[in-house]
Amino acid sequence: MINFHQVHKAYRVSGQDIPALQPCDLQIARGEVFGIIGHSGAGKSTLLRLINRLEEPSGGRIEIDGEDATALDADGLRELRQQIGMIFQHFNLLSSKTVADNVALPLKLAGKLTRNEIDQRVASLLARVGLSDHARKYPAQLSGGQKQRVGIARALATDPKILLCDEATSALDPQTTASVLQLLAEINRELNLTIVLITHEMDVIRRVCDRVAVMDAGVIVEMGPVSQVFLHPKHPTTKRFVQEAEHVDENDQHADFDNVTGRILRLTFQGDATYAPLLGTVARETGVDYSILAGRIDRIKDTPYGQLTLALTGGDTDAALERFAAADVHLEVLR
Ligand SMILES: Nc1ncnc2c1ncn2[C@@H]1O[C@H](COP(=O)(O)OP(=O)(O)OP(=O)(O)O)[C@@H](O)[C@H]1O
Ligand SMILES: [Mg+2]
């Protein structure tokens, strides 16, 4: 659906070119939820805004649904933008218009539907986002979560193929964030909409994304399926985001390990393996004792996972490690 070939972007500031995105290759498949995470200034919004050409690339080629988006004329660009909806951190609603009129606006601008058809479409969009009872209200009369639902309905008005979300949940409390993410996941599933989502929270990525790109200083430093990147982060920036999501203080963790005897290992379980009674079996068979130093059990999108850091003492430690290595888990020996 989205194809970047060596796309780069520099902003011209007082006669100087300041790079914001280094040459970047990226493929996002139809129906995928693709996350972009990175610190402030990493180039996330720049990358996102290149997709609907709110920013002009300095070079490279961008294909959207097989079409060269870098070669479009004004009409072509208007068509492209109707196929790409966008939602924002601060919702960007028109305060002087009702909820229904905000959602109707892109349809009026497109000029393809009659008044009646627009009314019907707006009613079905508001039903879709659970706001049928709020059509005549003004944005100031809504909660943050409701405003973002209006933003989503408006973004979906022209029946786009792609939805771009720039920090769409950053202004919302955790519970409202969860409900908006759930709505995005539903829309993705039911409409097979491709979603590209920027966030600075790994937890948002974990809940809805299929793949993730980690950005640092204009470069994608790590990219892959969320389970891979989240459970086995490689780049220091990725590790920091994962630790933030886990509320782990890296220094604390190492201090703890200094006082622990035995072998230290980390086991990662995914899918059905999460529920298998592996620890007890291995302990019984090899005579090792284990203590749990850190652990978590949660879900990545719909797949359960568990990650445990263990210290092994006594018994046949090598045999235990062999048993773990042969089982349906990911084993890392930390010490
Ligand atoms: N219109 C602009 N003119 C000049 N420089 C810009 C412009 N927009 C962005 N930049 C610069 O480009 C770099 C990347 O900015 P971008 O907005 O893409 O970052 P970001 O990852 O979205 O950050 P944030 O998390 O704060 O939104 C930054 O150094 C920023 O200062
Ligand atoms: Mg940004």
Nearest ligand, CA 47: 1
The pocket of ion ligand 2, defined by CB under 5 A, consists of 45
Contacts of 271 (CB under 8 A, 6+ apart): 303, 304, 305
Tell how strand 194-199 and strand 162-166 pair up: parallel
Nearest ligand, CA 166: 2
Q: Indicate which residue's Cα is closest to atom 2 of ligand 1.
A: 11
pLDDT of the chain along its 335 residues, tens only? 999 999 999 999 999 999 999 999 999 999 999 999 999 999 999 999 999 999 999 999 999 999 999 989 999 999 999 999 999 999 999 999 999 999 999 999 999 999 999 999 999 999 999 999 999 999 999 999 999 999 999 999 999 999 999 999 999 999 999 999 999 999 999 999 999 999 999 999 999 999 999 999 999 999 999 999 999 999 999 999 998 887 666 555 555 678 889 999 999 998 888 878 899 999 999 999 999 988 888 899 888 999 999 999 999 999 999 999 999 899 999 99
Please, what is the end-to-end C-alpha distance for the chain in angstroms?
44
- CA distances (Å), 20 to each of 39, 40, 42, 70, in order? 13, 12, 7, 18
User: How far does the centroid of ligand 2 lie from the alpha carbon of residue 170, in Å?
Assistant: 11
User: How far does the centroid of ligand 2 lie from the alpha carbon of residue 35, in Å?
Assistant: 13
Q: Are 75 and 225 in contact (CB under 8 A)?
A: no
Q: Indicate which residue's Cα is closest to atom 28 of ligand 1.
A: 41
Prediction pTM value: 0.91
User: How far does the centroid of ligand 1 lie from the alpha carbon of residue 20, in Å?
Assistant: 7
User: How far does the centroid of ligand 1 lie from the alpha carbon of residue 41, in Å?
Assistant: 5
3-state secondary structure 250-264: HHHHHHHHHCCCCEE
Ligand 1-lining residues (CB < 6 angstroms): 11, 13, 18, 20, 38, 40-46
User: How far does the centroid of ligand 1 lie from the alpha carbon of residue 11, in Å?
Assistant: 9
